[in-house]
A and B are shown apart, each in its own frame.
Chain A
Amino acid sequence: MTPKSQWAFRLFHLALLRGASLLVPARQRAEWLREWDAELWHVQRACAPSRCITWAAEREVTAFCLGAFQDAGSLARHWRQRDMPGPALRGSPAQCILLLAALLAASYVMAHLLPGVRAERSLSPRHVSPGLVLIQYEYSDDGAPATISPGQYRAWKGRKQQYFDGFAFYRVTEESVGQGAVSAGAHEKAGWRVARASSNLFALLGLPVQFAVPDLKDDGNMLGVILSEDAWKRDFGANPHVVGSVIRVGSQDARIVGVAPEDSWGLPGNVGAWLLQPDSEIASGGAGYVVGRLTSAGKAAMWAQCVRITAYGPGYSEDDLLGFSIETWRPGSWGIYQFAILLALLSLPAITSVSLGDYSVCSHKHSWSRQLCRWSFLSAKISLLLPIVYFASLDLAYGHSGFAPARAMYIQLICSFSLCLFGFRWVLQDQRQRCPVCLRTVTNPAEVGQPSRTFLAWNGTELMCTGGHTLLHVPALPTSWFSTQRWLYLDPSWEFLFAGSGTGMESEAISGFSSP
């Protein structure tokens, strides 16, 4: 063999070792390579003691170097298994909690990212303030006509009342509305139905206003106008930046101060906008509606959602009026969620057993800490499941902006109920299949016995705790003598079968088997 080929072989062997070293984890690579380099030096001397290199010797050295790949591979496998927590985590309580926490985080983030869900959460609970009545004449015709004059409203408001501590007025008119101020030559549009309302109407009713900018409401120089969601979508292209701009309502300029959500207005008069005016400006004009807020005395006088009122007008004339409750309660998303949980809890026994197995009746007694651990784990699962259901149901119901509010409400109810029901079922089933000692899920199911011999011998499925603590026997056909699952506790003499499973939990000292 020529010196050139000798050098070529040496380089080849070094390259083999360098190549194999790439498989070795970086933190061990230098030392690993140093050992193999040293060994290679000795192998080369041993194979060619007289510096007379032969093909046979080079083949031996090459075979030696190829062994480095197996060594590097075994090291890499070992460190990969050690670094990856998979096998240790599999079936462990930590894995279960982490999985639930990840689901919770995902549903929470989704709820914050989806605009529909954000809007719904900002509006909940969606109901008007309690104790509000719409005041009308007792003998007025059906159809909730406007019967109260602005003068009466001002008179009531200026007088101390026994039944009321607040009034608001609105009158529905047809107005021409144009985009842009009058001074800017606004283009007039066809008439809108506009409610000329006292400036405290929305505050008294407690109605939500979307995109409201507080500073704009305090703009004393210009009237504020709140658009209905329909009008906002129809005439302003659902542009949220329209809030703050000036439009023309009738002969007046008004600044848009917000958008009233769809279906939030439950009073007579289907209007496109509410022009909020000071009381001095609504003194004249036709009759309108008055909303009053009852005091505790007024609430006590309520009967069948109605309160009878006698108003004294000018010249000591008496007017008989009725106040109709307008407290139309609507369940917000939180209310729907609570109702769904209640329904799911009531339905749960229909789809699964609510028992946790024979933990309580088995002969083996666990320490208090072990029992606390088990109950804490169950509580943690339920605590994580409930917010997951809430956020996931919101995501599903309000994530799609095309759903009408009423439909979204029903979707949320169905989703919350289904997720709760099957979530609780999973929680219980999972708990029943966890080793009472280490809380790991039992695995390796094995069929035991024959169904044809059910009444002669035990027949069912046997599962095993990988930590070597227990065996779980689940009967295939519940009988009077073996109706529910049973745990068989293994004593420490069985540990050698499970060595290396690495549960991290110490087995409890158990003397002998507990009889099934």
Chain B
Amino acid sequence: MAPEAKLSHTAAIILQALDAGFVYGFSIMEMTGLPSGTVYPAMRRLERDGLIRSQWERQSIADAEQRPARKYYKLTLAGKTTLQASRKRYPLLERLIPSEEAKSV
């Protein structure tokens, strides 16, 4: 199955947000405006499909900042490939959430 055929618009937005540096659930919610009931289940599906992977923040960092440790998400290689394909399918994706490279330029 072609990668772009499986990806919904919501999933593409979440991938784009992750690529843009929004690496945990609440920041993606804030960036995309999607509710928590949409963002978290979508991220679980993306993780199951191997497009993103999660990692817990080190406890020492969280303790130093006196807050609970967070779970961060990151695009995998397959996720990046899928995102490239999705950008072709949804041309406005990059304009909606500019990637870090685009912002730095």
Residues of A contacting B69 in the complex (Cβ-Cβ under 8 angstroms): 34, 38
Tell me, yes or no, whether A326 is within 8 Å of chain B by CB: no
Residues of B contacting A68 in the complex (Cβ-Cβ under 8 angstroms): 36-37, 40
When the two chains form the complex, which single residue of B5, B36, B44, B45 contacts A63, counting CB atoms closer than 8 Å? Answer: B36
CB distance from A21 to the nearest CB of B (A): 13
With most chain A CB atoms within 10 A of its CB, the pick from B29, B30, B41 is B41
Contact A496/B37 with A38-B68, A39-B70, A75-B44 known, Cβ cut-off 8 Å: no
In the complex, which residues 40-83 of chain B have their Cβ closer than 8 Å to any Cβ of chain A?
40-41, 44-45, 48, 67-71
Q: A63 vs B29: C-alpha distance in the bound complex, in angstroms?
A: 12
When the two chains form the complex, which single residue of B2, B24, B35, B67 contacts A67, counting CB atoms closer than 8 Å? Answer: B35
- Main SS class of interface, B: helix
CB distance from B38 to the nearest CB of A (A): 8
Mark A45-78 against chain B: 1 for CB-CB distance below 8 A, else 0: 0100000000000000001111111110011001
CB distance from A433 to the nearest CB of B (A): 27
Let me know if A43 and B26 touch, CB within 8 A. Answer: yes
Residues of B contacting A496 in the complex (Cβ-Cβ under 8 angstroms): 1-2, 5
For B41, the closest partner residue in chain A by CB is A74
Tell me, yes or no, whether B25 is within 8 Å of chain A by CB: yes
In the complex, which residues 1-34 of chain B have their Cβ closer than 8 Å to any Cβ of chain A?
1-2, 5, 24-26, 29-30
Q: A358 vs B56: C-alpha distance in the bound complex, in angstroms?
A: 58
| Contact residues on A (Cβ < 8 Å of other chain), bracket | 20 to 34
Let me know if B37 and A42 touch, CB within 8 A. Answer: no
Contact A495/B1 with A71-B40, A71-B41 known, Cβ cut-off 8 Å: yes
When the two chains form the complex, which single residue of B24, B36, B45, B67 contacts A64, counting CB atoms closer than 8 Å? Answer: B36
Let me know if A499 and B70 touch, CB within 8 A. Answer: no
Contact A41/B35 with A71-B40, A74-B44 known, Cβ cut-off 8 Å: no
For B70, the closest partner residue in chain A by CB is A38
Let me know if A70 and B2 touch, CB within 8 A. Answer: no
For A67, the closest partner residue in chain B by CB is B36
Let me know if A42 and B44 touch, CB within 8 A. Answer: no
CB distance from B56 to the nearest CB of A (A): 8
Residues of A contacting B45 in the complex (Cβ-Cβ under 8 angstroms): 74
Q: A383 vs B24: C-alpha distance in the bound complex, in angstroms?
A: 58
When the two chains form the complex, which single residue of A41, A65, A74 contacts B67, counting CB atoms closer than 8 Å? Answer: A41
Contact A37/B37 with A46-B30, A75-B44, A78-B48 known, Cβ cut-off 8 Å: no
CB distance from B89 to the nearest CB of A (A): 15
Q: A309 vs B41: C-alpha distance in the bound complex, in angstroms?
A: 96
Residues of A contacting B35 in the complex (Cβ-Cβ under 8 angstroms): 63-64, 67
Let me know if A46 and B26 touch, CB within 8 A. Answer: yes
Tell me, yes or no, whether A35 is within 8 Å of chain B by CB: yes
Contact A42/B2 with A69-B37, A78-B48 known, Cβ cut-off 8 Å: no
Q: A67 vs B26: C-alpha distance in the bound complex, in angstroms?
A: 12
Q: A37 vs B25: C-alpha distance in the bound complex, in angstroms?
A: 12
With most chain B CB atoms within 10 A of its CB, the pick from A34, A43, A66, A67 is A67
CB distance from A264 to the nearest CB of B (A): 69
Q: A161 vs B48: C-alpha distance in the bound complex, in angstroms?
A: 89
When the two chains form the complex, which single residue of B1, B37, B41, B71 contacts A38, counting CB atoms closer than 8 Å? Answer: B71
Residues of B contacting A499 in the complex (Cβ-Cβ under 8 angstroms): 1
Q: A38 vs B71: C-alpha distance in the bound complex, in angstroms?
A: 8
Residues of B contacting A35 in the complex (Cβ-Cβ under 8 angstroms): 25, 70-71
Q: A258 vs B39: C-alpha distance in the bound complex, in angstroms?
A: 79
Residues of B contacting A65 in the complex (Cβ-Cβ under 8 angstroms): 36
CB distance from A43 to the nearest CB of B (A): 6
Let me know if A39 and B25 touch, CB within 8 A. Answer: yes
Residues of A contacting B5 in the complex (Cβ-Cβ under 8 angstroms): 496
Q: A71 vs B35: C-alpha distance in the bound complex, in angstroms?
A: 11
CB distance from A486 to the nearest CB of B (A): 28
CB distance from B54 to the nearest CB of A (A): 9
Let me know if B26 and A39 touch, CB within 8 A. Answer: yes
Let me know if B24 and A39 touch, CB within 8 A. Answer: yes
Residues of A contacting B38 in the complex (Cβ-Cβ under 8 angstroms): 67, 70
Residues of A contacting B68 in the complex (Cβ-Cβ under 8 angstroms): 34, 37-38, 41
Let me know if A67 and B70 touch, CB within 8 A. Answer: no
Residues of B contacting A70 in the complex (Cβ-Cβ under 8 angstroms): 36-38, 40-41
Q: A3 vs B26: C-alpha distance in the bound complex, in angstroms?
A: 26
CB distance from B53 to the nearest CB of A (A): 14
Residues of B contacting A500 in the complex (Cβ-Cβ under 8 angstroms): 1
Q: A46 vs B38: C-alpha distance in the bound complex, in angstroms?
A: 19
Residues of B contacting A69 in the complex (Cβ-Cβ under 8 angstroms): 37
In the complex, which residues 51-109 of chain A have their Cβ closer than 8 Å to any Cβ of chain B?
63-71, 74-75, 78
CB distance from A516 to the nearest CB of B (A): 27
CB distance from B8 to the nearest CB of A (A): 14
CB distance from A221 to the nearest CB of B (A): 82
When the two chains form the complex, which single residue of B37, B70, B71 contacts A71, counting CB atoms closer than 8 Å? Answer: B37
CB distance from A507 to the nearest CB of B (A): 14
Q: A74 vs B41: C-alpha distance in the bound complex, in angstroms?
A: 6
Residues of A contacting B37 in the complex (Cβ-Cβ under 8 angstroms): 66-71
With most chain A CB atoms within 10 A of its CB, the pick from B24, B36, B38 is B36
Q: A66 vs B25: C-alpha distance in the bound complex, in angstroms?
A: 15
B→A interface (CB under 8 Å): 1-2, 5, 24-26, 29-30, 35-41, 44-45, 48, 67-71
**Nearest 9 pairs of A and B residues by beta carbon:** A67-B36, A67-B37, A70-B37, A499-B1, A74-B41, A71-B40, A38-B68, A496-B1, A35-B71
Given A67-B39, A70-B37; 7 other pairs, CB 8 A cutoff:
A34-B71, A38-B69, A38-B71, A64-B26, A65-B36, A67-B35, A499-B1
Pairs A–B under 8 Å by Cβ, sample size 30: A34-B68, A37-B68, A38-B67, A38-B68, A38-B69, A39-B25, A41-B67, A42-B67, A42-B70, A43-B26, A63-B35, A64-B29, A64-B36, A66-B36, A67-B35, A67-B36, A67-B38, A69-B37, A70-B40, A71-B44, A74-B44, A74-B45, A75-B41, A78-B48, A495-B1, A496-B1, A496-B2, A496-B5, A499-B1, A500-B1
